[in-house]
Chain A
């Protein structure tokens, strides 16, 4: 296991668009790159994400587990109400640190 580098304890990864099963390999690679660069707390900015399928949620969950191995975490920032609802439906809101997008209520 890589040791976290002191120069890169926090990292922000912005994602955008519609993310389905065809995007899992690319997302997995980008999350691993942040981990290997030493990120401890890895924040995924979801502000411009319009959709995530369960295969994407699975990759995010695996990344969270990986970050936890070095006493870190995966955080989801600016989550839209629609995606928050899916996360809640799957029980992921109790596992991941989720921050809803500002100025949006739970209702669509």
Chain B
């Protein structure tokens, strides 16, 4: 359900498409060009996938909230889940330069989120849940 506060869906992977559509609409309305909108969309997709697979451990009855807003020159996305406390920073960063055989393929989602966004912050709290706050400046594409 889309509200003024954002989108609230169950923790099902089948909702990832709706989340992407919602975020793309908001990012575009905030003035991000097509390429930067794609980057935000992908970062959000990776963050929500982590919430569903790690915090909710694949259970599809949890709650996932996606909130988008402008703050100064930044387009901000806040993703909240109420699953098990999960610190994505505990996942080792993948070695994207090493040979395939030696490369860990875990942690790629968090790596991509950091590459695609200007800033990514994680907060885990038993009361307010796991929160990911990601920012992307609207200035480059603003005319």
Residues of A within 8 A of B (CB): 18, 20-22, 51, 53-55, 57-58, 61, 64-65, 82, 86, 89-91, 95, 108
Asked if A21 meets B96 with Cβ closer than 8 Å, knowing A53-B49, A54-B112, A108-B35, the reply is: no
Main secondary structure of the interface of A (DSSP, over half): helix
Q: Which of B42, B45, B105 contacts A58 (CB 8 A)?
A: B105
Separation of A61 and B102 alpha carbons in the complex (Å): 13
B141 is an interface residue with CB less than 8 A from chain A: no
Q: Please, which residue of chain A has its CB at the minimum distance from the CB of B49? A: A21
Q: Which residues of B contact A (CB under 8 A)?
A: 12-14, 16-17, 20, 34-35, 38, 41-42, 45-46, 49, 52-53, 94, 96-97, 100, 103, 105, 108-109, 111-112, 115
Interchain nearest-CB distance for B97 vs A (Å): 6
Q: A92 to nearest B CB, angstroms?
A: 8
Give 5 nearest A-B pairs by CB, closest first. A91-B96, A22-B13, A54-B108, A21-B49, A95-B100
Cβ of B97: which chain A residues have Cβ within 8 Å of it? 91
Q: Is the CB of B42 within 8 A of A86?
A: yes
C-alpha spacing A51/B112, complex, angstroms: 14
**Closest Cβ–Cβ distance, residue B53 to chain A (whole Å):** 7
Q: How far apart are A55's CB and chain B's nearest CB, in angstroms?
A: 6
Measured between beta carbons, the chain A residues less than 8 angstroms from B14 are 22
Residues of B within 8 A of A90 (CB): 94, 96, 108, 111-112
Supply 14 further A-B pairs (C-beta < 8 A) apart from A22-B12, A82-B38: A18-B17, A18-B20, A21-B13, A21-B49, A22-B17, A51-B42, A53-B46, A54-B109, A54-B112, A55-B109, A89-B115, A90-B111, A91-B96, A91-B103
* A58 cross-chain contacts in B, Cβ below 8 A: 105, 108
CB contact between A20 and one of B13, B38, B115 (< 8 Å): that residue: B13
Closest A residue to B41 using CB positions: A51
- Which residue of chain B has its CB nearest to the CB of A88? B96
Chain B residues whose C-beta falls within 8 Å of the C-beta of A21 in the assembled complex: 13, 16, 45, 49, 52-53
